[in-house]
Amino acid sequence: MEAFLEVVGALTPSVGVGLIFWFAMRKVIHADRNERVAQAALDRQQLAEHASEPARGSAARQVARSTLSNSPPSGGSVEDVTDD
């Protein structure tokens, strides 16, 4: 019986730390799941608001596309510049 109590006493800290880790990971996973649900609801709401807005003119869309693109500005490139 004494050997059994020694084994239990030796394993108790490891089991305790394992339980704490399990609870912490469980909280992280639940928080992530709840955040994803909230983000999806926000995305649906913003999509619905965007769909209900009247369509803007093609000039406004062109400006929006040009500001969002990653292309270099028109009117030349870095290779066109020379040092004399």
Residue range 16-73, pLDDT digits in tens? 999 999 999 999 999 999 999 999 999 999 999 888 876 665 555 666 666 566 555 5
20, 36, 70, 71, 73 from 67: Cα distances, Å: 49, 29, 8, 9, 10
What is d(CA 76, CA 8) in angstroms, rounded to the nearest whole number? 76
* End-to-end CA, the chain: 93
What is d(CA 9, CA 4) in angstroms, rounded to the nearest whole number? 9
Whether the full predicted model's pTM is greater than 0.75, yes or no, is no
